[in-house]
Structure 1
Amino acid sequence: MTEIHPVLGRHRYLIVGAGPAGLQLSYYLQQRGCDYLTLEREAAPAAFFRHFPRHRRLISINKVHTTSTDPEIRLRWDWNSLLHEPADLPFPKYSGEYFPHADDLVRYLEDFTAHHQLRVRYDTGVTRVERDGDGFLVYTDQGTYAADCLVMATGWQRPNVPQIKGIEHVTGYESMETDPAHYANQRVLILGKGNSAFETASSMLGHAAMIHLASPRPLRLSWNTKHPGDVRGHHGAVLDSYQFKTLHSVLDCTIDEIVPLENGNLEVHLTYTHADGETAVMEYESVLRCTGFAMDTSVFGDDCRPDLVPSGRMPTTRPDWQSTNVDGLYFAGTLAQDRDFKKASSAFIDGFRYNLRTLTALLVERYEQTPLPHDTTKADPATLTDLVLDRVNWSSALWTQFEFLVDALVVDAATGQVRHYVDLPEDYAVARFADEPHFYTFGLRWGRDEYGDVFAIERHPQPDRAAESAFIHPVVRRYHGTTRVEELHLLEDLLAEWRRPERHVNPLRDFFTAQLPHA
């Protein structure tokens, strides 16, 4: 049983972790005048980014120069700024580099915390979490806190270590040598094919004699998947070296065993995935584990330990980012990505900053009885057409969180009015308005999945073939309860400006003209 300590403070909301997600949520709760406290085990914010990525270049872009002066539009290509109003502290003030240095993000997050005087208690590590009625007791090395609502914004807490015999003999990404000269003339095996693996391979490309990247499944290229967490194009030199037969290779295989040798090298036994069970034994001077990170649930008591996805890397969440099995326990930031895993950008700042703005609205609705905000407009085809096009041409949330966040238009046939809600996860919107006979969602989506060569896509610029658009484009869906009854795609546009009368305005107005009488 946990030792009983006096409660140092009771708060409506406790946030654990002062990384970018914890700071963003702290900002929004503070703006709402909420009773919150953020706990951070380190002496300063942004602890993760003080050590990771190991080679200190972020994969989140920082496009400083755009054709727009509108701060909202510029956020589409600023993947590191936290949201705040007025937007007087944008990340591009800290770096002009397209792929910025991680130290610049640390400086930015420190200044964001100080600028907004966020209530963060440092040097306060959480040691235990237990249920306390409908709320929680959070034990720390400085004392105990009580909360009605607990939000875990801790980010990744431990390495994800695959179950491989002999894995204890390899060096983890978190502790490996980053000086490429260390690997000069070595044969190096990198376990994993994500961005940390390619970051590591890229760093030593001109030094190592042979680099192999290995995992059971083929690598996923971001230009095919449209997911920023998959392998990015700036690591293309590694793939070039593979295709041009330089002894650097990308292997689809399972690692069966890793055996230390007397000479200090490691012998790796593997089975190829696509080669009729062919096996091989390879010798390497260095084997590096770059297989990502996972959540650590050891601080949770049995009465409030969250369920995890099958891989065990992250919690399962409801559409409102609440634990599927622990009421009142929410997740923020990279931990809260299972609902759009490998689809939108909820694992990254440019995605979860919008999720957290919405989460704040859901929390204050639940705990402060403040209704979810919405605007009201006329159920008129021309009015709704203008509303939808204004939003998709302007919103950075819909742009970045494509295929995840949507706006909802709920039609009240009796009054001829429409309630307009913004930036809701679509599955949440459909569940929330399940009793409504007539409502719409709209957002931005990519086109078909079967691209073939993504640089040689056949386009069809006819409005009646807009559903075949390959580039990001607006999609409007009409629902009757939870049943989707109609869907309209609007044609893609090179400049992402959906304003053309014949391609966008007229088809959308015609759609609403046909659909609204059914309300």
Structure 2
Amino acid sequence: MDGNVLSVEKDPDDGMYRVRFSFPRADEVVKELRYDRVIVCTGFRFDASAFAPECRPALVIDDRFAPLSPAYESVNVPGLYFAGTLMQQRDFKKSTGGFIHGFRYAVRALSHTLDERHHERPWPHRQLENSPAALADAVVARVNRSSALWQQFGVLGDLIVTPPGEPADYHEEVPVAYAHERQLGYDGDYFTATQEYGPDHDKVDPFDITVRRTAQNSVDDAFDAAYLHPVIRHHGGGELLATHHMAENLENHWDHPEAHHAPLVEFFARELDHRPSPAGR
């Protein structure tokens, strides 16, 4: 209802509840509605009683969650992993890890992490031609069809490892923080591709026509886009080297030849030219 609850009072005559709301986006209009029942959802705390003291995870955020590493592993109990809604500790109130449409993709990522760490099965990937056009084709195809990148915005991303003189390895739906951790000690270049909103996007009324927005498919304003859009970052030597924002599109089609594909090809061409030679790796 997009309103703030001002009061909840039980009517002694009929036993119903009178609930008063104010609506900030309607000039603080106050409205009273009547209900048979009121359910108060006040959150939860983590029940650690199932764990012996020597393997009990630490707790954070008002004792709701165990703090987790980028691999969804307890930070103080090695080998203790969490799956499901408790994974949201990694993206609490930032993405969708608290809901099934978000954590289902995190669970799948966890399965790949466990395979990689404990069963000598590498993260699923495919090889691509290590060229700007081929990398741009792959990224454009993925951002236009991947529900994981869409739902777990800013949390899951595709990882593209680009060793000079060799084919590129394209890994799908890797937790971004884990991707960086995974590449520690790798002195070559890699890219991440995510879907992200602009800063403070959740504070903007989507129906407020007075709010400034970037123009549809505007390449020049892409870095300032507030709506969900693909972001590609270049990393190397443990540092962020460059960032490319694909132009905002309200129909969520990031495949325009001039607005989306060509600028991405240019970005990859420019960044791949800066890679060290095979001899210098």
Which TM-score applies when normalising by structure 2?
0.83
Residue 379 of structure 1: how far off its partner (Å): 1.3
Is the 1:433–1:481 Cα contact (8 Å) retained in structure 2?
Answer: no
Shift of 1:208: 2.2
The residue correspondences of 1:84-233 to structure 2 (distance < 5 A) are: 185=11, 207-211=16-20
CA contact (8 A) 1:431 1:482 kept: no
Matches within 5 A, 1:468-487: 468-487=224-243
Task: Give the Å deviation of 1:374.
Answer: 1.4
**Could you tell me whether the CA contact under 8 Å between 1:409 and 1:420 is conserved in 2?**
yes
State whether structure 2 residue 240 is matched by structure 1 residue 431: no
Corresponding residue SS for 1:343: coil
Q: Is the 8 A contact 2:193 2:231 kept in 1?
A: yes
User: Relative to structure 1, is the Cα distance of residues 240 and 288 closer, same or farther in structure 2, using a 3 angstrom cutoff?
Assistant: farther
Aligned to 1:245: 30
Whole-Å Cα distance in 1 between the matches of residues 200 and 103 of structure 2?
25
Equivalent residue, structure 2, for 1:175: none
Instruction: For residue 336 of structure 1, give the secondary structure of its aligned residue in structure 2.
Output: helix
Shift of 1:502: 1.6
Could you tell me whether the CA contact under 8 Å between 2:45 and 2:62 is conserved in 1? no
User: In 1, Cα distance between the equivalents of 2:61 and 2:102?
Assistant: 23
Shift of 1:446: 0.6
> 371-380 or 381-390, which moves further after superposition?
371-380
The alpha-carbon distance between structure 1 residues 241 and 441, as it changes in their structure 2 partners (threshold 3 A), is closer
Letter in 1 for 2:60: V
Structure 2 vs 1, CA of residues 184 and 397 (structure 1 numbering), >3 Å: closer, same or farther?
Answer: same
Question: 2:4 is matched with which residue?
Answer: none
2:88 corresponding residue in structure 1:
337
8 Å contact 2:87–2:106 — kept in the other structure?
Answer: no
- 1:296 maps to what in 2? 47
User: How far apart, CA to CA, are the structure 1 residues paired with 2:226 and 2:25?
Assistant: 26
Please give the residue correspondences for 1:275-424 in structure 2 after superposition, counting only pairs within 5 Å.
289-413=40-164, 415-424=165-174
Corresponding residue for residue 442 of structure 1: 193
Matched position secondary structure for 1:293: coil
Instruction: Report the identity percentage.
Output: 37
| Pair member with larger Rg | 1
Residue type of the alignment partner of 1:420: Y
Of 452, 455, 459, the match for 2:213: 459
SS for the counterpart of 1:291 is coil
Is the CA contact (8 Å cut-off) linking 2:23 and 2:29 kept in structure 1? no
* Matched residue type, 2:28: Q
Deviation per CA, 1:439-497: give whole Å up to 9, x if none.
10001001232665443232233302101112110100001133111000011112101
Find the counterpart in structure 2 of residue 73 from structure 1. Answer: none
Aligned in 2, Cα 1:514/1:348: closer, same or farther, shift over 3 Å? same
Taking the aligned partners of 2:109 and 2:205, their CA distance within structure 1 comes to: 37
Which whole-Å deviations, capped at 9, do the CAs of 1:187-219 have from their partners, x for residues lacking one?
A: xxxxxxxxxxxxxxxxx9xx423447xxxxxxx
Distance 1:334 1:242 in 2: 36
The SS at the match of 2:195 is strand
Q: Residues 300 and 510 of structure 1: is their aligned pair in 2 closer, same or farther, counting only changes over 3 Å?
A: same
Are 2:58 and 2:66, in contact at CA under 8 Å, matched by a contact in 1? yes
- Structure 1 residues 511, 446: closer, same or farther in 2, change over 3 A? same
Task: Work out the CA distance in 1 between the residues paired with 2:104 and 2:18.
Answer: 42
Question: Structure 1 residues 246, 394: CA separation in 2 closer, same or farther (over 3 Å shift)?
Answer: closer
Distance in 1 between the 2:263 and 2:134 partners?
14
Partner SS, residue 476 of structure 1: strand
1:239-291 CA-partner distances (Å, limit 9, x unpaired): 7899333468xxxxxxxxxxxxxxxxxxxxxxxxxxxxxxxxxxxxx997531
Structure 1 unaligned blocks of 5 or more = 1-182, 187-203, 213-236, 249-285
Q: Cα offset for 1:377?
A: 1.1
Distance 1:290-1:245 versus aligned 2 partners, 3 A rule: same
Equivalent-residue separation in structure 2 for 1:484 and 1:209 (angstroms): 54
Distance 2:172 2:243 in 1: 19
3-state secondary structure, aligned to 2:95? coil
| Count of aligned pairs | 257
SS at match of 2:244: strand
Distance (whole Å) between structure 2 residues aligned to residue 382 and residue 287 of structure 1: 57
RMSD: 2.6
Unaligned runs of 5+ in 2: 1-8, 276-281
Q: Supply the distance in 2 between the matched residues of 1:391 and 1:322 (Cα, whole angstroms).
A: 28
Moved over 6 A (4+): 237-242
